[in-house]
Amino acid sequence: MNAVTPTAAADALIACRGLHKWYSGVHALKGIDLDIRAGEVLGLVGDNGAGKSTLIKCLSGVETPDDGTIAVEGRTVRIGTPKRAMRLGIETIHQYNSMVPTMSIARNLFIGREPVRFGLGGVGLMDQRRMRREAVAALRDVDLHLRSADALVGELSGGQRQGVAIARAMHFRSRLLILDEPTNHLSVKETEKVLGFTRGLPAQGVTGIFISHNMHHVLETCDRVVAMARGEIVLDRRVADVGIDELHAVL
């Protein structure tokens, strides 16, 4: 674990210590120590099976690490479920599409977090007017201009869908936004837009983790780059201090 101090940095938003994860005999995470500092965009790179996705799943509550701790702002937490991760301000934009194509944009934006009137035991009438209004505002906030929030997500292009996913994450005031290969299947222009948005995260007070196979994208967008291989961190450096050849060499 070169370059990582054993005690959490004072400004660490998220601090992982000794994270281990086994999948039926495969040791996917071998004691990950990682600080994600508030206000940075961290690039996470590595070949398929290097453990990036597993690490992200632990942070977004999809998987629970078998050993080790995760602390948010110095407080050790058990994330456990996606819902709890969201409540802690950790939003994830997955590489697979996390939208329901047969539902409207407004409904997709609020999936699982619908504003409810007269609720009983967590179930109740949705405040659809509010959902529509806030959805339009949320789309505008990420500079996505769609005709209406009632359009079905299935009608949108890949880039527009990613835009809706970003709008969703931003609307719920995430503190940490994880973008898991967000530019897969996007056109060049759409990719530029997503990269520009990622660069602008710190200005909006949001910390980012950006995962990509494209080293150029990572070097363009991130402040710091962490490379993983075989379940371990093999490089952790400021982007300014690392060259693309060096990145390729460690992977």
| Residues found near other proteins in the complex (CB under 8 A) | 60-62, 81-83, 86, 92, 94, 96-103, 107, 110-114, 116, 122-126, 128, 144-147, 151-152, 154-160, 163, 187, 189-190, 193
Q: Which is nearer to other proteins, 9 or 125 (CB)?
A: 125
The minimum distance between CB 100 and other proteins, in angstroms, equals: 4
Count of residues in the chain: 251
Contacts of 169 (CB under 8 A, 6+ apart): 91, 92, 93, 177
The minimum distance between CB 52 and other proteins, in angstroms, equals: 16
- Residue 149, number of CB atoms within 10 A of its CB: 21
Q: Which of 201, 177, 196 is nearest to 186 (CA)?
A: 196
The minimum distance between CB 82 and other proteins, in angstroms, equals: 4
Alpha-carbon distance of 43 to 207, in angstroms, equals: 11
The minimum distance between CB 26 and other proteins, in angstroms, equals: 20
Q: Which is nearer to other proteins, 38 or 160 (CB)?
A: 160
The minimum distance between CB 149 and other proteins, in angstroms, equals: 13
Alpha-carbon distance of 99 to 103, in angstroms, equals: 8
User: Side-chain half-sphere of 55: how many Cα atoms within 13 Å?
Assistant: 36
Q: Which is nearer to other proteins, 187 or 244 (CB)?
A: 187
**CA 52 to each of CA 92, 104, 107, 123, 129: distance values in angstroms, whole numbers, following the listed order:** 13, 31, 30, 36, 39
Q: Which is nearer to other proteins, 45 or 79 (CB)?
A: 79
Q: Which is nearer to other proteins, 101 or 205 (CB)?
A: 101
216-234 b/e (C-beta count within 10 Å ≥ 16 → b): ebbbbbbbbbbbbbebbbe
